[in-house]
Chain A
Amino acid sequence: MNLKRMFSAAAIAVSLVASATSARAEALDDIMKAGVIKIAVPQDFPPFGSVGPDMSLKGYDIDTAALIAAKLGVKLELVPVTSANRVPYLQTKKADLVISSLGKNPDREKVIDFSVAYAPFFNGVFGPKDLPVAKADDLAGKIVGVTRGAIEDLKLSEIAPATATIKRYEDNNGTITAFLSGQVQLVATGNVVAAAILERNPPKRPEIKFLIANSPCYIGLNKGEPKLLEKINAIITAAKKDGALDAVATKWLGDKIPTDL
């Protein structure tokens, strides 16, 4: 009797602990049960997320969110955020995931978890296909346009050989126009800006020559959600393999995702 009581007490304790764990850790189960996933997306950062003419959200991050909701088989609820409040929205459970062109850094890693990378985000030197440039030294004797004061300006000024001419323009539009009008042979800029050039379907298509800085985007989720993290990683990895993410990247960034992403 005594023994029986002890057993049942232990059983209750174990089940309590188990249920407590499941209530805390299984955000995935909560999402599946509710049939809806709340995903924080940008609304002011094209091409990752912006508001279309019909007031609906569109962009790379929105398409990725839709992809994940579809693979989970749940309804998608988009939560528009800014870059300043995207992590607090996640921490206060107003969103289950943050897909908001989020870069990984040690400070952020202390407070949230990151999935595998889902979008390329890098600075590099771009130029037309027929111009052979593979590294910084190849810029010797070439004219490169860059937006003054941007991170790629500072880096390029360090790594470019002395015989390279760097033309510094006031803003991205100046840099883009200088490239398109042939005033510079190459541009150092971000892949997002290069995508904006590609969108205009120019006669000269800027292709990536080499990387200056690489900071891909990751999906952010709360710490201590191993099942959700595993599931999201599986979905993204599969989407990279079957071309679903390539389609999103081609639509919004004008190019497939890099193979090393």
Chain B
Amino acid sequence: MNYVFDFGSLGAYLPVLLNGVLVTVQLTVIGALFGVGLGVACAWARAEGPMWVRPIVSAYVELIRNTPFLVQLFFIFFGLPSADVRIGEMEGAALAMVINLGAYSCEIIRAGIQATQKGQREAGASLGMSPFQVFRYVVLLPALQKIWPALSSQIVIVMLGSSAVSQIAAEDLTFAANFIQSRNFRAFESYFAATAIYLALAVALRFALRGVGRGLFPRRSAMR
């Protein structure tokens, strides 16, 4: 091996790299917030919602969980314009991530909801709580607590999966690495930097999600 490493060659492209990090973080935050929100709504609809909504939600969840993220992304960005729905690459990327995480988190949250025993709901109802209050305090919060580690992992997966959005010219971290590599032909250095940054982002994200978990479930110190 006679490859001479030159990380200095990345210096000129630092703004590109930083912009890439920013875009990846933005997409992850938006995707995680709205994705988990969508997941909770879908999990509620599937467990408690009107009968006619349940098959629709099931169809959505199965459709998204059984097709590749890249294809979903291409469908939104390249396919929908045929139906005169034209969205930019950032909006398209964020939308694809929300839809994707929505389906997965729906399944995860549903698992937590199913773990709540019927007697607990009845206990809530007998205390005079409205069905919404029962769902919120008796069902959802304990459910979220149970599945929080799994949900955190899924959010990290979506963050890492966001590298696919470079394919529709969204200028995320992977795009930055590809871009730099195609300009200075320093493949090792570019992808090494991207790898290191992704790793750091993932670790930071897990740490942050653990903090969020502690905030959400303060009195349940069993949280790891």
Contacts and interface: CB of A to CB of B under 8 A. Distances in A.
Interface of A: 145, 148-149, 153-154, 167-170, 174, 177-178, 181-183
**Secondary structure call for the A interface:** mixed
B77 interface: yes
A183 B86 contact: yes
20 contacts: A148-B182, A149-B181, A149-B182, A153-B182, A167-B89, A168-B169, A168-B175, A169-B168, A169-B169, A170-B166, A174-B167, A174-B168, A177-B78, A178-B78, A181-B79, A181-B82, A182-B86, A183-B77, A183-B81, A183-B88
Interface string B150-188: 000000000000000011110000010011011100000
A182 B81 contact: yes
Interface of B: 77-79, 81-82, 86, 88-89, 166-169, 175, 178-179, 181-183
A148 B81 contact: no
A130 to B, nearest CB: 18
A181 B81 contact: yes
Nearest to A173: B78
Contacts of A153: 182
Q: Which of A145, A149, A183 has the most CB of B within 10 A?
A: A183
A149 B187 CA distance: 13
Contacts of B78: 177-178, 181, 183
B217 to A, nearest CB: 42
Contacts of A149: 178, 181-183
Given A177-B78, A183-B169, 14 more contacts: A148-B182, A167-B89, A168-B179, A169-B167, A169-B169, A178-B78, A178-B168, A181-B77, A181-B79, A181-B82, A181-B86, A183-B77, A183-B81, A183-B89
Contacts of B167: 169-170, 174
Given A169-B169, A170-B167, A181-B81, A148 B86 contact: no
Contacts of A145: 169
Contacts of B82: 181
